[in-house]
Each structure stands twice: as structure tokens, then as C-alpha cells.
Structure 1
Amino acid sequence: MKKSYNILIIVGILFLNACNTKKQDSRTDSTSITEQFYFGQKPPGLIPEIFAQGIVSINGRFEGSVSFSPDLKEIYFGASDEDEKTAIYFSKLKNNKWTSIKRANFTNGEKKEEMHPFVSPDGKRIYFTALDSSFVDEKIWYVNRLKDSWSDAIQLDSPINDDLVFSPNQAKNGDMYYTNISYLPLIKTNHAPNINGAFPRVQEVEIKFGHHAFISPFQDYLLVSGRNNEDPSRKDNDIYVYFKKQDGAWTKPMNLGSTVNSDFDEKSPKITPDGNYLFFGRSERDIEPGLSNIFWVSTEVIEELRPNNF
């Protein structure tokens, strides 16, 4: 009887060890998948790091807004070439390797510039801004996903495009947020509820300031770029967060702090579909002409600012 009891103990220990090994393997697999999805980059902590330097972030090129597909296997981002015309570039993860960076050219030359790509939460569309001349004809366009490519570009049929608008993005439920520049120097952030896949009405988001607004997946916070509001002598843009209160109003803007924001322009904040990382552009033209790289940082920098009762 004692021998049988000892055997049972040994079997139990082996089972627990197997479970622990399985858990360790699972953690290892999760880490490798995360690194694979982000060009093999080591995920950052609370201090921003340049993303994919020499691949996506290239010195001498002016990079900005970034968007990933929901499965994290596609990246789209805006970048300016030598003549300062902005285009959308992309890469895809195929057979565990990222394809070479290519220009999208969604409008096939119909518009001179394309920027601010955003892959919809269901992955079936890419919304973006297209224009011929800055502050003259900015509109929101989109392409639909086909089997292995994208459709011809279509200008969004919505009151959204009654104004000059850019930087479209969506919450998980499809509600759209974007920046309205029709009333310069006043810049507005607008919200267009998703109604059966259309956007028949728009409304202004009641926030103190900011542009290039980006809504969190569940609309519990809003990120914006805006001129530093704490030091009147500074003229650079920082990234701020607004949290939504229970009554639907927004808190005061909260600066993400000196670890994220610098004395240079931070712009175009974006949250990855998995909610883990904040991507943004940082322009350091005062150091080197054309130097504007893409940075990423853990979204814990946002959560650390969240009020306790939210």
C-alpha cells in the first residue's frame, strides 16, 4: 500500500512539472510571437524607443502616423520623401518574414498625397487622408480589402467630408474620430457614430485642445497632440490624454510626461490593436533635417495617469 502511495506522489510531481514546463513554453511562445509581430523588435517598457530603426524609421525621411491590422500582420505608415510629399507605405508578415517596405498608392495618382492610414477594427478597410494641397482639400478616403489586395480608393460619402478633415480612426464599435481644420486657427476633434456602417451625422468632441486625436478601442480615453500647455515659452507639441467620465464628459488634458514628451514635436499618437503599445512620431528637425522617426512605448504610461475612480 505504501509503495502504491509513493508511486502516486511521483506521478503527481511529474504532472505538476509538466504543467509548469507547459506554462514556461507558453510564455516563451507568447514572447516570440510578440517580437515577431513587431519586426522582431524587443518590446519597450515605460521609456519610448525608436521603432524598427533602419527599416521603418529611416533618418533623412519624415515618418509619422502608424496603423497595424487587427492580427498585427500588416503595418501601414505615412512618410514624406525628398520633395516633402507624403505617401503611405506598408509591409506584411508572410511566412514569418516581413516583406520589403513598399508604397501603397491607393488613389493611383488621383491625389498627390496620402497620409494617416488606419486599418478598421475588422480589418476590412483602410481609411486615410488624401489631398492635393495642404489646408485646401483634405478629405477622408478608404479602400476595401479584396482577397489579396485592396480596391480602388473611394472618397467617404458622409457629412464628415463637408469640411477639411484628416487623421481618421475608429473605436471597436466602428465610431469614427477625426480632426477638422475648416475653422483654422481653431482645430476641432469630431466624432461620427457608426450607424450600420455609415456615418450620417457628426458632432464635436468637447475637449479643451488638441489635434490628430486617437480614440481608445472602448472610447474610455482619447489621445491628442497639442502645443505644450504647461510652459508658455515652449512651442513644441506634446501628447496628452483625456479620460472619459461616467457622465460622458472628458477630464482635463493630462500630459504624458517627460519620458514620452521631449522638447521636440510629438505627433500622431496611435494605440496598437492589442492595446499594448503607444506609437507616435517625434520630429527632431532642429538636430538634423528630415529627422522624424517613429517611437513606441508601453501603454502603461497612459494607465499610470488614469484616475483611481475611472
Structure 2
Amino acid sequence: MNKFLSIFLILVTFFSCKNNTISYFDQEPPSTIPKLFAPSIVNTANIELNVVFNYDNTEMFFSRIVDNSFVIHHSELINGKWSDIKPIKMYDDNVLVSVACDPTITKDGKTIYFLGVDPKLYKNDVTREELYAIPPDIYESKKVDGKWELASKVDFLVSTEYLETYPVVTADGSLYFRSNRPSATGGMNTYRAQYLGNEKFETPVIIDTKTEKKELITYVSPDERYAITNGQGKFQMTFNDNGEWTKPKEIPLKYESNWRYYCPYMSSDGKYFIYSRRYNNPKKKGWAGVEKGEVYWVNADVLFNTKIE
């Protein structure tokens, strides 16, 4: 082979590999010891939660509590650099206090599903306790001409008069979520709604997670090969065995008391487990008592290698 052609091919291979490297805000990747995700960028003095990326890792989303509102923020990878963190406007200007959190992104990167609260159900002078007590629904926002549009409630089969939370979209557009709608099993259950196209879903069906402790699915891999459940203040793994979910097995992390662990997520390349935790004032329950919220990431070996302590 010609010497100069060889050098050219080597350079092409080098820069191709370099351009395909996934960027996480120039952070050093974590080991099997969890560490804060993007300190001062994502993790600040505010309460932050649920970091997620789109499929090609060119847009990052997370939620931050600002003036008692849950606001989804994002950053885009443009010419190899992440843009400044900015909030996404999901509701009209007259909505001063709102809820928008737990985002999940479709494979084409053009639709966000998230947990929202109907703005018509509260006033702008609503207290933090009153706002967080209103049953949430699943909302969606479309990206049109590079801009996220105002959100609207999802198909009535998914969003009902009952509580719906933790939406997770799969590669084929189907939705997993949790709801306390009436059922034979009662209480909260994990549901799956098969996507039919044209923003329509089949009637959601309950997913049996093979447990007596009500560990419910809060993340599912795009191919639905495995899922992460959340129960008893800890994370668990369950695998899809020919359509049946295996009994959840605890993910070995150092769970600290008075901290609640939630919002599990896998990075788009499958290498890192990203999760949130919040510190509650022991004298107060629910979000009204949250004093600190953080996002961590850790090498995914903690999920798939049970020997790691």
C-alpha cells in the first residue's frame, strides 16, 4: 500500500474514533464508587434530579427546583461543546408555579415525555405542600425547528384522573409508567402502554415484577431487556426472560439513612448508571421536607457484576 495512503487511513480512523467519543461535560468517568455528576453544572445549591440523555448523546436533560417549581433544564452538544444550561418552557407565561420533571426522550430525539401537573388545578399562590399533593399526569413536548414546544397531556388511556408517574419510553415508542388507577391488585402498579403510532397507545397493561414488596419499574432499557425497580428505598434489577420479568435483585450501593434514592437511568452508551437522591428532614414527609437533591453516576458494573461490593 502507498505510504501516504496508509498515513491518511490511520488519520481518518483516529479522528473518526475521536469524533465518536461520547462527551459527559469533560468529566473523568466514574469507577464503581459513585460520584456527583457534573458539579457546579448540574449539581448546584439547588435541588436537582433525574439526569437523562437523548439516544445520540447530543442533548442532556434534568430537573431543578426553582422558586418551588420543578423545571426541566437542558444542554445541547454543538460543535463538540455543551451549551449553557437553560430551562425549557413547558407551560404558558401565566403559570408561575409548575411541575415538570422525570423526562424521558424518544429514540428520534423529538419528543419528551415527563411528569406534569395540570396548571388548571392550582393557583399561582399555591403552597409547596399543596402543589406536590396534586396527582400528576404524563405530559409530552415536541421539538420543532430545534425548539421544544409547550407541553400537552398524553393520550387519555395513559393520563387519567388518577396518579401517573415515572414515564419511561422504549425504542419502539411504548411507555412504561406507574399509576394507582383501579386494578385487581390495588395500589400502585407498573403499567406498559404499547405505542400504536400517531401519538396513540393501546390500553396499558400491568407489568408483574415478581415481588411482594411492591418494587416498581422506574427505568427500562430501550430494548426492554432489563429494568431497574425502586422499592424499600433502594434500587433493584430485573431481567426480561421471554416476556416474564425475573424477581428483582438489589443493586449494591451504600444507601445512607434519611436519603431517598430514586430516578434510576442508564447512559445512552450503557456504560454508566445515573441516579438521584434527596435528603429529607426527618420531621417532614414527602417533597415538602426535601432539603437537598443530588445526581450521581457510577460505572455500570455495579448493576451487571454482582461480585462488586
TM over 0.5: yes
Quick one: which of 217, 222, 227 aligns to 2:227?
222
The aligned counterpart of 1:40 is 26
Quick one: which of 249, 252, 260 aligns to 1:254?
249
Q: Deviations over 1:135-192 (max 9, x none)?
A: 4331111111111212231211231112310221111111110111446993211110
Take 2:238 and 2:104, find their aligned partners in 1: how far apart are those partners? 21
The aligned counterpart of 1:302 is 303
The aligned counterpart of 2:235 is 239
Shift of 1:56: 0.3
Quick one: which of 55, 80, 85 aligns to 1:70?
55
The aligned counterpart of 1:160 is 158
Contact persistence 1:50–1:57 (CA under 8 A) = yes
Take 2:13 and 2:291, find their aligned partners in 1: how far apart are those partners? 44
* TM norm structure 2: 0.79
Contact persistence 2:217–2:227 (CA under 8 A) = no
Taking a change above 3 Å as real, the CA distance of residues 27 and 305 of structure 1, as seen in their structure-2 partners, is: farther
Shift of 1:280: 0.7
Take 2:149 and 2:178, find their aligned partners in 1: how far apart are those partners? 25
Contact persistence 1:135–1:181 (CA under 8 A) = no
The aligned counterpart of 1:267 is 262
Structure with greater Cα Rg: 1
The aligned counterpart of 1:96 is 80
The aligned counterpart of 2:205 is 203
Take 2:231 and 2:237, find their aligned partners in 1: how far apart are those partners? 10
Tell me the secondary structure at the aligned position of residue 31 of structure 2.
coil
Take 2:15 and 2:299, find their aligned partners in 1: how far apart are those partners? 21
Trace 1:277-296 onto structure 2 (pairs within 5 A): 277-285=272-280, 290-296=291-297
Taking a change above 3 Å as real, the CA distance of residues 66 and 147 of structure 1, as seen in their structure-2 partners, is: same
Higher strand share: 2
Trace 1:130-141 onto structure 2 (pairs within 5 A): 130-131=116-117, 132=122, 133-141=131-139
Contact persistence 2:88–2:148 (CA under 8 A) = no
Q: Which amino acid is the alignment partner of residue 193 of structure 2?
A: A
Shift of 1:24: 8.7
Quick one: which of 87, 92, 100 aligns to 1:108?
92
Q: Which runs of 4+ in 1 moved over 6 A?
A: none
Taking a change above 3 Å as real, the CA distance of residues 255 and 20 of structure 1, as seen in their structure-2 partners, is: farther
Tell me the secondary structure at the aligned position of residue 274 of structure 1.
coil
Q: Percent identity?
A: 23
Take 2:42 and 2:13, find their aligned partners in 1: how far apart are those partners? 32
Contact persistence 1:128–1:141 (CA under 8 A) = yes
Q: Which amino acid is the alignment partner of residue 176 of structure 1?
A: L
Tell me the secondary structure at the aligned position of residue 51 of structure 2.
strand
Take 1:201 and 1:135, find their aligned partners in 2: how far apart are those partners? 26
Shift of 1:298: 2.3
How many residue pairs end up in the alignment?
278
Tell me the secondary structure at the aligned position of residue 290 of structure 1.
strand
Take 2:236 and 2:296, find their aligned partners in 1: how far apart are those partners? 16
Q: Which amino acid is the alignment partner of residue 294 of structure 1?
A: V
Take 1:258 and 1:153, find their aligned partners in 2: how far apart are those partners? 36
Q: Which amino acid is the alignment partner of residue 54 of structure 2?
A: S
The aligned counterpart of 1:180 is 179
Contact persistence 1:221–1:241 (CA under 8 A) = yes
Take 2:37 and 2:293, find their aligned partners in 1: how far apart are those partners? 12
Take 1:300 and 1:26, find their aligned partners in 2: how far apart are those partners? 28
* TM norm structure 1: 0.79
Q: Deviations over 1:178-224 (max 9, x none)?
A: 11144699321111011124213101111122346111111111112
Taking a change above 3 Å as real, the CA distance of residues 19 and 253 of structure 1, as seen in their structure-2 partners, is: farther
Taking a change above 3 Å as real, the CA distance of residues 169 and 269 of structure 1, as seen in their structure-2 partners, is: same
Take 1:117 and 1:25, find their aligned partners in 2: how far apart are those partners? 35
Q: Which amino acid is the alignment partner of residue 25 of structure 1?
A: F
Mind listing any 5+ residue stretches in structure 1 that lack a counterpart? Answer: 1-10, 228-236
Shift of 1:290: 3.0
1:29 equivalent in alignment to 2:44: no
Taking a change above 3 Å as real, the CA distance of residues 30 and 151 of structure 1, as seen in their structure-2 partners, is: closer
Taking a change above 3 Å as real, the CA distance of residues 147 and 284 of structure 1, as seen in their structure-2 partners, is: same
Take 1:304 and 1:20, find their aligned partners in 2: how far apart are those partners? 38
Take 1:101 and 1:53, find their aligned partners in 2: how far apart are those partners? 13
